[in-house]
Structure 1
């Protein structure tokens, strides 16, 4: 019989764990009163494929590994995770054992079954299929959210109960404080400065598993210099930061001092945020098939972000972080299948992904830098690896680049020496084809492997472009060849043929033009680091290259066309149509048409100003 004094704590915990969190409070209380608490020592089975108990399992403390009948890893799960859905459906058997000493809350199949018979509207929340569970949450909660939590301040949801520990404290003293105040993490302070953070997982993985002396200083196991967020920052920005660093706790500052803490558990209380944490799920799966299931949520997340009122740059940043996670997981899976790479390498993403500007229709662009020349056998390894990743991304909804700028083409999988030669050729002798290569491949960002290789190449590109007015002239002349779709009579210039006849291409004839101009202005300041389009324009203003009025105009213009594209894509999705970058003027209100004409005219003026500043008319025909 369960100790009744434990029930309030159990109820509080499971109320934060999806899908139980979607049940009415009365049902959560009913489950809490009938939970079986199990302690499983490290290495022991929780469920056995030959003798499955019919239960749903919630990990309170510890870590669990699931193994399929063929011996392959199914998933690794941590505190707050729930499993056993496949057992509820009487199929897809597997083993599960404790990777470390683990405390489990066990809910009988019979109880869940009785609840679902009484409340059939919750059946899909307990489906065996991950995609079904995520879809029902997204459809019924994310899109119907009324609290707009993403647009609230961090202070509205952060937990003011924090544990601050002096950097001279021992591991034991820190653990005692965390236990006393029932917190899963502690912020390590040196006077008034945050120097690190430690959580209960660190205590288990660093201290218990490695046998570290509990009298040792807590600084020996802390995560140093954690990212922080201010209390007035938007929740969406905080979520993006947590996703980018793959962390679960974020110190919150007010007037420069620690005020509260924001945790993944706090955020998961809000149904409108649960699918945003798709990245956590991406890194837990162990197969391409499971990744494909998760990828079906991208459209719902994109829609939820727009409906929540998220800004265009936050939407693109979140979509980019998700794309990064899919790429990184596929690279991990590829290395598991093929074995360790024959030499050090880095996987770079290019274009919009490199600039954190992805959206629902973005394709994939990538390259590989290896540290040295490859033998034919070694080259075959990287061709197999890149093909696995690129084909996997395509199955996850990221189409291949039309221009073949992907790492499975041997031209874009080269040693650092050859990459240096490429850029020397493109920049010193900027012919038309080379300018196309440069415009695509100069925006690169490392996401996996030896990032120093990318840093070396960035420094080399900076040296080549520094004060290189000739290269800027060619880049500018090439960039302004494509004009905004507006005539001198303020009429739209529409596509004349094909499936997009009589439509405007917002990407090619507006957004891409601003992206190109931002890159040119950035290179004029010797800034080769890959930044977003808005960051590049802002940096140019800070360096005195453009004035405040120009900055305001160009940022407003960029925001307008991005917002219009997203609004248009959302309308298409809601009408069960394919989202595109093309828009018909007939679909716009009179005000929107006039605003878009003004925007196109501004872009034309930006092009003219750049041409006067950097180019020579007619240099490229």
Structure 2
């Protein structure tokens, strides 16, 4: 190589992911090893110059790869890399490659790239043979005070819990709490958790009233206390405590108490924006006051991004804020219209049910009534639903364009009617039925009588269990959309040959993982709604293996990180939230890792089609 070319190659390598991670002297050494090749338009690069030869970088121009059957594999342009997948092969190349423009290529010899990987963990992870490993190392752990609220309850709960019997005298309970230095005690009737008593109860219900301390603690305990699972995010537990104004939250797993969470002081003293906003939502006494809090949601979103919080945790926190708005509005509605005349459950659906909301998410919800209402009761729930849905819209959660809301008479019916809906959806595969059941397979209790939602979810699982044709139809329907082949210059390279100007990251990527996880979870008999939890349950039930779970989870994480960065950029410029990303706005790092994510999704779409015999089901 002519020495005059070296500075130009060094500068170029400094713009190419992952070689921008190298020190200046390392890039000089790398540049000195580069071979330069030139292809004329339509000229092919022989396979024996790719297999086992090294790593290629497109300096200028463009090339395309085709599978052995002639179908397009991908197109590559300036700064794109190829050849690594063939580095350890021998014999025939896994694809053919030809120039679609006059093209200049840089080739890094095999031994040079192998030595780089040995000496640099960042380079090694980037060129891992597994896309999921490359994606896993594309993120960084969250930092600062925000990060503590993204831990699980089990990481911060108190495992030493005072436990007393219902007939224990109040005086003895107070002594036990003092001896163990705890602010609460759990009260049991036999082996069953019957209640909880706190130091505040001792003050307000005993000392302030002059109550005889020889009385049993059951006289002052809070009966049937709220509980939380040890795997729940800490922020979710704190949200429960704020909503119900409780100071101590028992932690239960498989019917057994494993600890207690006493986070009230943490909430009161916290300046973390997300937790503070949730606490403020529950303190507002009018819809107008709630609307005044809406601008803070964007500030929370930006703070979480600034703290380098991962995508899943951002979604959880944004969803918990939406839950708080929804629940407080329901409380205001009951204040306005009076107590509900019959038991009911308000549930959320869609991204809110999956704990996967973002700044642009709309509302999806419904009401389950315990029994058929009379005319007056029906009017009550109609008024309540209309008020709540409009109030949510006023608070920045837009009305659902598909009218999947409790304000729609169809989605405000007794449990028996909902169960008939399920029967029809599963038995008949018309397009509208597929749409409806897809929406309501993602539902989560939010407010009211919880067992009604549990009963509906159980009906869904029972109906689809072993229903092979239903699974095939669900998979076939989801496969109508495929991830892009890749990103080529300013275009999104699609499988149908249509090079689009923008990437619809929700439709062409996010939803595809959501669909796969939903089907896998149903096949596993899981009632989970969150995508990562569905993948976990499917892996635990051997529907997929742990490698499949990891790959899909990492792809989902990275796709959402790119999505949130786009939405944050749009918000900072005062734009309207959307999911349409111009490829030119992506960094080389994002482009490369999105390609990995697309390949993972495509691979598992094909696997799902084969597993559930979905080929040719829908035409």
TM-score, normalised to structure 2, is: 0.66
Residues in 1 aligned to 2:213 and 2:534: alpha-carbon distance in whole angstroms: 48
For 2:529, the equivalent position in structure 1 comes to: 531
The structural deviation recorded for 1:478 is: 0.7
After superposition, where does 1:170-189 map in structure 2 within 5 Å?
Answer: 170-175=169-174, 185=184
In structure 2, the partner of 1:429 is 428
Alignment partner, residue 264 of structure 1? 264
Give deviations 1:99-124, integer Å, cap 9, x for gaps. xxxxxxxxxxxxxxxxxxxxxxxxxx
Alignment match, 2:538: 540
Deviations 1:177-200 (A, max 9, x none): 768999754577999999975323
Is 1:506 equivalent to 2:502 in the alignment?
A: no
Asked if 1:327 is matched to 2:326, the reply is yes
Distance 1:212 1:240 in 2: 36
Q: 1:487 to 1:259 in 2, by over 3 A?
A: closer
| 1:206–1:604 CA distance, 2 compared to 1 (3 A) | farther
Of the three residues 548, 551, 561, the one matched with 1:550 is: 548
Shift, 1:337, TM fit: 1.6
Higher relative contact order (CA 8 A, sep 6+): 2
Q: State whether residues 445 and 530 of structure 1, in contact with CA within 8 Å, keep that contact through their aligned partners in structure 2.
A: no
Structure 2 SS opposite 1:349: strand
Instruction: Note the alpha carbon deviations across 1:414-455, whole angstroms, 9 max, x for none.
Output: 122211111111100111111001101222122122222222
1:461 and 2:457 correspond: no
- Name the SS for the 2:399 alignment partner: coil
Q: How does 1:52-131 map to 2 (within 5 A)?
A: none
Q: Could you tell me whether the CA contact under 8 Å between 2:161 and 2:260 is conserved in 1? A: no
1:440 maps to 439
CA deviation after TM superposition for structure 1 residue 399, in Å: 0.6
SS in 1 for 2:347: strand
Q: Does the C-alpha gap of structure 1 residues 405 and 205 become closer, same or farther in structure 2, counting only changes over 3 Å?
A: farther
Aligned partner of 2:40 in structure 1 is none
CA RMSD for the aligned pairs?
4.0
Shift in Å, 1:599: 1.0
For residue 611 of structure 2, the aligned residue among 580, 597, 613 is 613
CA distance in 2, matches of 1:554, 1:152: 21
Counterpart among 236, 240, 244 of residue 244 in structure 1? 240
Alpha-carbon distance between aligned partners in 1 of 2:548 and 2:195, rounded to the nearest angstrom: 41
How do 1:447-526 residues align onto structure 2 when only pairs under 5 Å count? 447-486=446-485, 492-493=492-493, 502-526=501-525
Taking the aligned partners of 1:452 and 1:159, their CA distance within structure 2 comes to: 27
SS at match of 1:492: strand
Equivalents in 1 of 2:569, 2:268: separation in Å? 28
Q: Give, in angstroms, the shift of residue 472 of structure 1.
A: 0.9
Shift of the 503–211 alpha-carbon distance from structure 1 to 2, 3 Å rule, reads: farther
Would the alpha carbon gap of residues 607 and 494 (structure 1) be closer, same or farther in structure 2, given more than 3 Å must change? closer
Contact 1:164-1:189 at 8 Å conserved across structures: no
CA distance in 2, matches of 1:544, 1:562: 26
**Which aligned pairs between 1:390-405 and structure 2 lie closer than 5 A?**
390-405=389-404
Give 1:381's aligned residue.
Answer: 380
Corresponding residue for residue 590 of structure 1 = 588
User: Please, which moves more after superposition, 167-176 or 555-564?
Assistant: 167-176
CA distance in 2, matches of 1:575, 1:201: 48
* Deviation of the 1:158 alpha carbon: 7.3
Task: Say if 2:419 and 2:459, in contact at 8 Å, map to a contact too.
Answer: yes
Q: 1:172–1:300: structure 2 CA closer, same or farther, 3 Å change rule?
A: farther
The 5 A counterparts of 1:281-296 are: 281-296=280-295
**Could you tell me whether the CA contact under 8 Å between 1:557 and 1:602 is conserved in 2?**
yes
Deviation, 1:390, is: 0.3
Change (3 A) 1:591 1:154: closer
Secondary structure of 1:437 counterpart? helix
Greater mean deviation of Cα atoms: 276-285 or 186-195: 186-195
- Whole-angstrom distance in 2 between the partners of 1:322 and 1:510: 25
**Bigger Cα Rg:** 2
> Aligned ranges for residues 134-283 of structure 1 at < 5 Å?
150=148, 164=162, 170-175=169-174, 185=184, 197-204=196-203, 206-207=205-206, 213-218=212-217, 220-222=219-221, 237-246=233-242, 247-249=246-248, 263-266=263-266, 268-271=268-271, 273=272, 275-283=274-282
- Shift of the 456–309 alpha-carbon distance from structure 1 to 2, 3 Å rule, reads same
1:426 and 1:600 map into 2 onto residues whose CA distance is 31
Quickly say closer, same or farther: Cα 1:526–1:152, change in 2 above 3 A: closer
Cα distance, 1:259 vs structure 2? 10
Alpha-carbon distance change, 521 to 169 in structure 1, aligned in 2, over 3 angstroms: same
Instruction: Give the 3-state SS of the residue equivalent to 1:279 in structure 2.
Output: helix
TM-score by length of 1: 0.66
The answer to whether the 8 A contact 1:151-1:310 is kept is no
Runs of 5+ consecutive residues of structure 1 not aligned to the other structure: 1-144
SS at match of 2:285: coil
Deviation at 1:576, TM superposition (A): 4.4
